[in-house]
Amino acid sequence: MDSIEVKGLKKYYKVQKKEAGLAASILSFVNRKYEEVKAVDGISFKIDEGELVGFIGPNGAGKTTTLKCLSGLLYPTAGEIKVLGYTPFSRKTNFLKQIALVMGQRNQLWWDLPPIETFILNKEIYEIPDDKFKKTLDALVSLLDVTDILKTPVKKLSLGQRMKCEFIASVLHSPRVLFLDEPTLGLDVVMQKTLREFIKEYNKQYKATILLTSHYMRDVEALCRRVIIINHGKLLFDGKLSDLVKRHAPYRIVKLTLQKNIDESLMRGLGEIKSFTYPQVVISVPYRRISDVSAKILKDLAVQDLIIEEPEIEDIIREIFEKGKS
């Protein structure tokens, strides 16, 4: 069953334009000029129940706007959205009870009070029965290991601790659909890993549909089998992460450590030389030639070490965006 269905989604904004200077200020006071920004410009996709999908794009690509449309914050300029069979913008109580939106570095916790107070408020808002509330809270608290900070005022917590509590507050009502916007932003490596594992676990236990945006490719690689890539409000790729590598990066990276310095021209025929700083050589080799080339290297060149790698996801994605630009 489709949990999320988006057809031809568009969201345009009007942005005010103004030049510098006093004269321009006065002019713009009287006669304002607007420019239309196409934040999302005709996107369609479907997500099955229980899927964990990575949503990727550079800053300003339209990721957050899409998430906001999906969670019912924004009224779409055009297109159709169904989430769990509901139209998000009508914000029906039953719809809202089944979703959650988490935004990194945004705070829904009460700043001056301990996190437990926010949890209690959310219990009332989502009408969670007492016993279920207690059970879920206990499970989440032990999973994220935050027992000892529940009664500490939020302003005294570190960013990582706050983010953990933020997550608890957001999933207390066991949402079936989770929208995560840069959930690991600004956190250290250990905390990123903890949250990643938490997201994975949540996805597995509750069969929840999760749509995640992140700047850290590690997040996406570790969590998502499927990715959706957008730029300038348009969809560039939608499919398995492994297909992305196959389709957009039909090459492998060969890393050599040479025994003695040789001339660069000797290696020209092997593939595209990415870098050459003796004794390290990095060569990009087309996928289908990889066995020939490696055999040739071992035969012709005196090498100490040879490693064949898949290209980094980050590089592939950068290439896609750069291609899109030209």
Partner 1 sequence: MNIKKYYLAARNTWDETLAYRLNFVMWRVRMVLTLLTMYFLWSALLLPGGNILGYTREFMLTYILGTSIINSLVISNRSYEVGEEINNGNLSNFLLRPINYFLYQFSRDLGDKAMNIVFSFVELTILFIILAPPIFIQTDSSLLALTFFSCLLALTMYFFLNFLLGLIGFWSPDVWAPRFVFITVLTFFSGGLFPLDILPKPIFSILEFFPFPYLLFFPLKIYLGQLVMAEIIKGIMISSTWIFVLWFIVKFAWARGLRLYTAYGR
Partner 2 sequence: MKEFRKYIRVWWLLTIKSFQVAFTSRFGVALFVFGKLFRLGFFLLFLVIIEQRTKVIVGYSLWEIILFFATFNLIDVFSQFFLREVYKFRWYIVSGDFDFFLTRPLSPLFRSLFGGGDPLDIPILCLSIVLVAISVINIGNVSFANAILYLVLVANGLLIALAFHIFVLAVGVLTTEVDNTIWLYRDLTQMGRLPVDIYQQPLRALITFAVPVGIMITYPSKAILGLLSPQAVLISFIVGGVFLWASILFWRYSLKNYSSASS
Query: 27 vs 121, which CB is nearer to partner 2?
Result: 121
Instruction: Please state, in angstroms and rounded to a whole number, the distance separating the CA atoms of residues 218 and 282.
Output: 23
Query: 91 vs 274, which CB is nearer to partner 2?
Result: 91
Binding to partner 2 by residue 106, rule CB under 8 A?
Answer: yes
The β-bridge relationship of strands 209-213 and 52-56 is parallel
Determine which residue in the list 29, 131, 148, 260 makes contact with partner 1, applying CB under 8 A.
29
| Residues 263 and 301 sit within 8 Å (Cβ to Cβ) | no
| Residues 140 and 172 sit within 8 Å (Cβ to Cβ) | yes
Q: What are phi and psi of 312, to 5 degrees?
A: -65, 140
Q: Which does 25 bind (CB under 5 to 8 A by kind): partner 1, partner 2, none?
A: partner 1
Instruction: Please state, in angstroms and rounded to a whole number, the distance separating the CA atoms of residues 77 and 38.
Output: 10
What is the residue whose two structure tokens read 């800053």?
59
Binding to partner 2 by residue 13, rule CB under 8 A?
Answer: yes
Determine which residue in the list 64, 192, 194, 203 makes contact with partner 2, applying CB under 8 A.
64
**Contacts with 242 (C-beta within 8 Å, 6 or more apart), sequence order:** none
Element (H, E) at 13: strand 2-17
Binding to partner 1 by residue 32, rule CB under 8 A?
Answer: yes
Query: 18 vs 134, which CB is nearer to partner 1?
Result: 18
CB of 125 to partner 2, least distance (A): 5
List alpha helices for 126-275, DSSP H: 130-144, 159-171, 189-206, 217-223, 241-248
DSSP sequence for 90-115: G--HHHHTTEEEEETT---S-TTS-H
Binding to partner 2 by residue 35, rule CB under 8 A?
Answer: no
Q: Which does 29 bind (CB under 5 to 8 A by kind): partner 2, partner 1, none?
A: partner 1
Binding to partner 2 by residue 68, rule CB under 8 A?
Answer: yes
Strands of 226-231's sheet in order across: 99-103, 177-181, 209-213, 52-56, 226-231, 234-240
Site for partner 2 in 151-190 (CB under 8 A): 181-182
Binding to partner 1 by residue 190, rule CB under 8 A?
Answer: no
Q: Which does 28 bind (CB under 5 to 8 A by kind): partner 2, partner 1, none?
A: partner 1
Determine which residue in the list 14, 19, 26, 309 makes contact with partner 1, applying CB under 8 A.
26
Binding to partner 2 by residue 96, rule CB under 8 A?
Answer: yes
Instruction: Please state, in angstroms and rounded to a whole number, the distance separating the CA atoms of residues 139 and 128.
Output: 15
Binding to partner 2 by residue 71, rule CB under 8 A?
Answer: yes
The residues that touch partner 2, with contacts defined as CB under 8 A, are 13, 64, 68, 71-75, 89, 91, 93-94, 96-97, 99-101, 103, 105-108, 110, 112-113, 117, 120-122, 124-127, 181-182
The residues that touch partner 1, with contacts defined as CB under 8 A, are 18, 22, 25-26, 28-29, 32, 155
